[in-house]
């Protein structure tokens, strides 16, 4: 089962990101990539998180990335979510059952003006405000218990909090 699991911060997470970022840069067309960032909870030092490295790639053209990235990432053992209802991004998972033992990486591909790229402000805000990161961690732990078997419900339940922090970042 692909359950929501929150674990204590692992200082290896930035290193795991660096290793995977090198693989991604080697596999993907560099002329399409505008930025490649570690984001999500594993990118916030000290924050407990799902042990999945989230990687955000900004591209010059999402249409060009759709044509070039699916096969390139498949060769790195990523599975593409072709039915993603959010058409402003692409989403890939590495290690997701039944294709692997456990999720290890998520790759999100978007254009830099997209809503997804703006989420870097959330990461940066939590890095700069440890008290806010602690509040977020408490929420995540509670929601992981409430929604252990439903990743979508877990993510949806966090959205109001994430949006409240995003409003703070725009002030």
Going by pLDDT thresholds of 50, 70 and 90, the confidence category of residue 3 is confident
Residue 24 has a CB neighbour count (10 Å cut-off) of 21
Enter the pTM of the model: 0.92
Going by pLDDT thresholds of 50, 70 and 90, the confidence category of residue 52 is very high
Residue 7, SS3?
Answer: strand
- For 162-167, the CB contacts below 8 A with 24+ separation are 162/119, 162/122, 165/122, 165/125, 165/126, 165/132, 165/136, 166/118, 166/119, 166/121, 166/122
What residues does each domain of the chain span?
Answer: 13-169
> Would you tell me which CATH number, out of the four given (2.70.50.60, 3.30.460.10, 3.40.640.10, 3.40.50.1110), belongs to the domain 13-169?
3.30.460.10
| Omega cis (within 30) before 164 | no
Could you write out the DSSP letters of every residue in 88-150? TEEEEEES-TTSSSS--EEEEEE-TTSHHHHTHHHHHHHHH-HHHHHHHHHHHHHHHHHTTT-
**In the chain, what is the greatest distance between 2 CA atoms, to the nearest angstrom?**
44
Going by pLDDT thresholds of 50, 70 and 90, the confidence category of residue 87 is confident
User: Given a cut of 80, is residue 1 above it in pLDDT?
Assistant: no
């Amino acid at each position: 089962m692909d359950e929501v699991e929150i674990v204590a911060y692992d200082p290896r997470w930035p290193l795991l990101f660096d290793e995977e970022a090198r693989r991604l840069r080697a596999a993907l067309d560099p002329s399409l990539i505008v930025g490649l960032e570690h984001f999500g909870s594993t990118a916030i030092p000290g924050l407990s998180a799902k042990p999945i490295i989230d990687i955000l790639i900004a591209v010059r053209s999402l249409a060009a990335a759709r044509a070039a990235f699916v096969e390139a990432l498949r060769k790195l053992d990523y599975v593409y979510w072709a039915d993603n209802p959010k058409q402003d991004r692409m989403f890939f998972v590495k290690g997701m059952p039944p294709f692997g033992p456990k999720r290890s990486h998520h790759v999100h591909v978007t254009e830099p003006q997209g809503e997804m790229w703006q989420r870097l402000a959330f990461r940066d805000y939590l890095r700069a405000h440890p008290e806010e990161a602690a509040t977020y961690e408490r929420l995540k732990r509670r929601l992981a218990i409430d929604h252990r078997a439903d990743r979508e419900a877990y993510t949806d339940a966090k959205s109001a909090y994430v949006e409240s922090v995003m409003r703070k970042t725009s002030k």
